[in-house]
Structure 1
């Protein structure tokens, strides 16, 4: 069954922030302007060295600021925030985004409307993310679900959506029951592919919807996709993709072959466009070497943080501790 349209769900927004206080201010103003405001807003401060945490504490839309002792990257920040939202704030759905995301006033309302109208449980509903000039941001385009049935495609179309297999962490609404079932993002990914692995895990057997009527702006410094040379961060890209394809249960055999092939093609394009191919290849080798060691559990990574008990509760409930 879908979300009961007669029951108002408790929705908690989670924002992960790190040293971008001016963008965070725009993000929080956007949350405050929602036509369907979140019932609580949790800001995870990833050990910022600017005044992001103080700014968040002063903002009237913010319910709680959790400052982590060290920067755990997007992966750790979202794992902490999702756990806090569900275990401590009683979220029935969790709306997550980075601090450089600015939602338009109806962003949350459109996501929730699609979830309510869809004839079944929706594990993930994703917004359309645009860059500053309104173009859809290629970094955040959800992956369509391959081989979707006509029935599922029509059900999604009737609520103004499209079926998806994965999405980025830039404005997605997560079902709390799906979180309890599948656990949290793998915090040890730090950055890159943490959102791919997590949403693909939630959507291996769950329903994901891309809802283009829900719109946000992703205010990255430049407009570009994931095939631009990332420099030293390519270590994380390679390591995390190796973890995803080799150790995660997010993908089935067909998905794994499909996405591994598309990843290889993207890396070839990245290498061709790189201004320092030798350095990029070196980062790739370092990533492969690092992938030989399995990622630590999210419980272990976030053990010495203010949300340790919340993380342990969710991960143990999902059998992932």
Structure 2
């Protein structure tokens, strides 16, 4: 199995350095790495360029000319990974994710154990995500797949894992062949729910595993869930969730009904706990309006003037056509 790591960076140069050091120190080495610098202005791109020299041609730095958000950065990075068609797994993470030394080995070992009990239908794997204190990070707590059969649960358990329906991009392993079939994350989401939509799309009709033996640290400033007083970013949560429910093929009808109910409860909790409820209500109104009235633009349009290299643009177009078949 050949693995390409994709890391998206934006203005966290010291965490980026720590993350790149951890990727380079994996007990099972990464085959290639792509770093996407989202137009940082703190020297993150220079840090990446310096550290990638040690990869001796197996590393690639893409310096974007505008901040395309996590969604755009991952779309570019995954497309760049797909330029190398021999890639089997694409390992994605942000620059505040620091993998443990056996994060990659733990995931690949779980995949091998999973193969021993059935066909190779695994599309996504996700790591156990902890905070700096070593406890599970509430922002990235995986949930078991709703409606998983006893056979699915037993097969995952035999591999030391849990069957899942979606995963965050904080250390997710994406099967490259599945990406070639279904296309890229939707860059116009900018941030929030791009990973939910994409992983759920990858996992509709395929298998996904939460792998406790693959451990990474998510070094956020605080140990809390993403809905704790999100500020102006709440706009993207509302708009993008409506885009998922209205337009994405990721979820079946009964799944949408369940997620809509869970989302409504989450939004109410967020509003009640906020220290600036007026700001969040404004985000809710604008997100609700745009979520109903608009649709995400194609990736090639969103990324047209962002400094994407020509070969990656070609790959974005190819994967877009593949997903539209």
- 1:44 match: 36
- 1:4 match: none
- 2:20 match: 28
Q: How many residues align?
A: 312
CA displacement at 1:194 relative to structure 2: 0.5
- 1:18 match: 10
- 1:319 match: 324
Whether 1:234 and 2:234 are equivalent positions in the alignment is yes
Report the Cα distance in structure 2 between the residues aligned to 1:314 and 1:302, rounded to whole angstroms. Answer: 14
Q: Does 274-283 or 37-46 show the bigger shift?
A: 274-283
Unaligned runs of 5+ in 2: none
- TM-score by structure 2 length? 0.93
Partner SS, residue 71 of structure 1: coil
- 2:142 match: 142
Report the Cα distance in structure 2 between the residues aligned to 1:58 and 1:278, rounded to whole angstroms. Answer: 45
Pick the aligned partner of 1:310 from 305, 308, 315.
315
CA displacement at 1:142 relative to structure 2: 2.0
Report the Cα distance in structure 1 between the residues aligned to 2:256 and 2:59, rounded to whole angstroms. Answer: 40
Report the Cα distance in structure 1 between the residues aligned to 2:59 and 2:241, rounded to whole angstroms. Answer: 35
Report the Cα distance in structure 2 between the residues aligned to 1:96 and 1:290, rounded to whole angstroms. Answer: 29
Per-residue deviation, residues 207-257 of structure 1 (Å, max 9, x unmatched): 000001100000000110132111111111100001011111111011101
Per-residue deviation, residues 114-170 of structure 1 (Å, max 9, x unmatched): 112213321000000000001111111123201111111111011110000000000
Report the Cα distance in structure 1 between the residues aligned to 2:277 and 2:323, rounded to whole angstroms. Answer: 42
- TM-score by structure 1 length? 0.95
The alignment's C-alpha RMSD in Å is: 1.2
Summarize the alignment of residues 157-306 of structure 1 with structure 2, pairs less than 5 Å apart: 157-291=157-291, 292-304=293-305, 305-306=308-309
Per-residue deviation, residues 13-35 of structure 1 (Å, max 9, x unmatched): 00000110000000001001101
Partner SS, residue 143 of structure 1: coil
Per-residue deviation, residues 151-205 of structure 1 (Å, max 9, x unmatched): 1111101111000000000001110111011110000000011110000010111
- 2:69 match: 73
Unaligned runs of 5+ in 1: 1-8
Per-residue deviation, residues 241-294 of structure 1 (Å, max 9, x unmatched): 010111111110111011111110011111111112122111110111222111
CA contact (8 A) 1:94 1:173 kept: yes
